[in-house]
């Protein structure tokens, strides 16, 4: 698998996590180095699995920067968020986006198993310029350590 595919798969997973986690006033996970295993299946192709490490700083968690992602999506007039639910253990939502040549809808769920584990899943159905595609994503993540070492936080 090339680097571009890895970035596409894991970048989408982290963006989805940020979006769903934005419903939380305080994310109930530890800061530090996390390992994330993402599996994505698109359009009937064989699933691809990628494992990466992410650094979540305490400053990011305290500043609740995830709210910025949610605000950006809510301000996008072509997208709507429905059935946004959250509690201390997780969050779920559904979304739709409609544009000139775009019709997209999906749903996702994030579950904080404890302070050192979370899992996430989402499914999305899209029609772009008449081409339909279904995408299913699952993510398993676990905390490794309080220190991130050489791994820098995602921007």
Give the per-residue pLDDT at 26: 60
Q: For residue 68, is it within any domain?
A: yes
Kindly give the confidence (pLDDT) of every residue in the chain, 155 residues in length, as a single tens digit, with 9 standing for 90 and above: 333 333 334 344 444 444 445 444 466 889 999 999 999 999 888 999 999 999 988 877 766 555 565 566 666 777 888 888 877 788 888 888 888 888 989 999 988 899 999 999 999 999 989 899 999 999 999 999 999 999 988 76
Q: For residue 136, is it within any domain?
A: yes
Q: For residue 155, is it within any domain?
A: no
Q: For residue 81, is it within any domain?
A: yes
- Total domains present in the chain: 1
| Structural domain span for residue 93 | 3-145
Give the per-residue pLDDT at 53: 94
Q: For residue 86, is it within any domain?
A: yes
Give the per-residue pLDDT at 63: 65
Element (H or E) spanning 46, and its range? none
If you ran DSSP here, which 8-state letter would residue 23 be given?
A: T
What contacts 24+ positions apart, CB below 8 Å, involve 12-17? 12/38, 12/40, 12/137, 13/38, 13/40, 13/120, 13/137, 13/139, 14/54, 14/154, 15/69, 16/108, 16/120, 16/122, 16/137, 16/139, 17/110, 17/118, 17/120, 17/139
Q: For residue 14, is it within any domain?
A: yes
Q: For residue 152, is it within any domain?
A: no
Q: For residue 154, is it within any domain?
A: no
Q: What is the CATH number of the domain that holds 48?
A: 2.40.128
For the entire predicted model, the pTM comes to 0.74
Give the per-residue pLDDT at 102: 84
Give the per-residue pLDDT at 133: 92
Give the per-residue pLDDT at 68: 60
Question: Rounded to 10 degrees, what is the CA torsion of 153, 2, 103, 20?
Answer: -30
């Amino acid at each position: 698998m090339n680097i571009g595919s890895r970035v596409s798969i894991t970048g989408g997973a982290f963006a989805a996590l940020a979006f769903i986690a934005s419903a939380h006033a305080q994310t109930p996970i530890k800061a530090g180095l996390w390992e994330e295993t993402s599996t994505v299946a698109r359009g009937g192709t064989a699933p691809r699995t990628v494992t990466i490490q992410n650094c979540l700083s305490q400053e990011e968690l305290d500043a609740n920067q995830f709210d910025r992602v949610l605000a950006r999506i809510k301000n996008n007039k072509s997208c709507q968020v429905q059935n946004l639910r959250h509690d201390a253990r997780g969050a779920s939502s559904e979304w739709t986006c409609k544009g000139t040549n775009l019709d997209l809808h999906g749903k996702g769920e994030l579950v904080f198993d404890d302070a050192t584990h979370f899992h996430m899943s989402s499914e999305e159905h899209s029609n772009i310029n008449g081409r339909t595609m279904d995408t299913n994503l699952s993510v398993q993540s676990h905390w490794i350590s309080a220190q991130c070492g050489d791994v820098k936080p995602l921007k």
